[in-house]
Every structure is written in structure tokens, then in C-alpha cells.
Amino acid sequence: MIGETSPIFASSVDASLGQITVHITNGFYYNEKPLVIHCWSEDDDLGEHTLWKDNEFHFSFRESFIGWTHFYCKMQHDTKIKMIDVYDDTKEGIKCTYTLNCYWMIDEGGFFFSRNNKLCNRSRRLPKRARHQSSIPLAFYGSSNRSRQLPKRARHQSSIPLASNAY
């Protein structure tokens, strides 16, 4: 099912809607352990996928004409686990309509969403002190209730950082 539309997604959809593709990329700088993801919707289980540094998992579908299109993913990096909504037609659907692509980058800094892949694929250089540490704290698994603020320039590139609450 990676990279292609399953016939299951074709049931109860409006054929006039474009096919949407959700891309999930492992952007961890230190990657001794892979990012393991398991994605599903109410109707479909996309299975478990292991992503090493810079690897991508993607899936395509058409939005449901009747009902609600919603995909969840459980993400695990080492012993840390988080579940997020990777596609909800009332949120990401509105943001992804123009490009028909939703990009997610997961790294030490959190979960980053973009509809145009420019921010998600940009090269990220960690501060010098962080590059020399054997492990980087994972902000999105922390207990902070604050959302990450991206630099002003990045906020204007349709990137939306998610809150860093523990699940």
C-alpha cells in the first residue's frame, strides 16, 4: 500500500476529488534506533513501518464523500511513544487542498507539518553542544504544555508545529 491507492479507499468516495498523499519522514539527527510508525483509519490499517534517518512512508487516498476522513499514526522512537492525527479532513484537509500533499517531519524538535515540503525537507543543523551529546531530549515526548514557536520566517511557510504534550 506504500505509495499507491488501495481499492479499499475507493469505496464511498467522490471521484471528482483529487487523490491526497500523506508523507511521513524520519528527520532524527541521531538515529541509532529507527522511528517505527503504525497508521490507520476507521476503515483501513496501513500496518507498521520502520523508518531510518531520512526515510519516508507515504500513503494515498481520496477523501470520503460521505462521512469523515481521518488517519492516525502511533510513532515510536526507542522507548518513547506518541499518537497523532496525521490527517483530519476538517484540519489538514483544508490545508492540503491546494497541493494535495501533507508532509510530516518528525525529529528531535517535534512533529512538523507542511503542505509544500519546503520546510520539512530543509536541512537542520543542531547547535554545537547538541551534536556532541549521545542523546538529544525529544521535545515532543516531554511534559511541557507549551507549543513550539518557529522563527517568524518559517511560520510564513505554512509550517505548523504541534504542541509538545506527552501522550
Rounded to an integer, what distance in angstroms lies between the CA atom of residue 106 and that of residue 51? 11
31-35, 55-59, 109-113, 139-143: lowest mean pLDDT where? 139-143
Lookup: cell for 145: 504544555
Q: Which residues contact 133 (CB under 8 A, 6 or more apart)?
A: none
Look at residue 32 in the predicted model and tell me its pLDDT: 86
More confident residue, 121 or 117: 117
Cell 496525521 identifies what position? 86
Q: How far apart are the first and last CA of the chain?
A: 28
What would the mean pLDDT of 88-97 be, rounded to a whole number?
Answer: 71
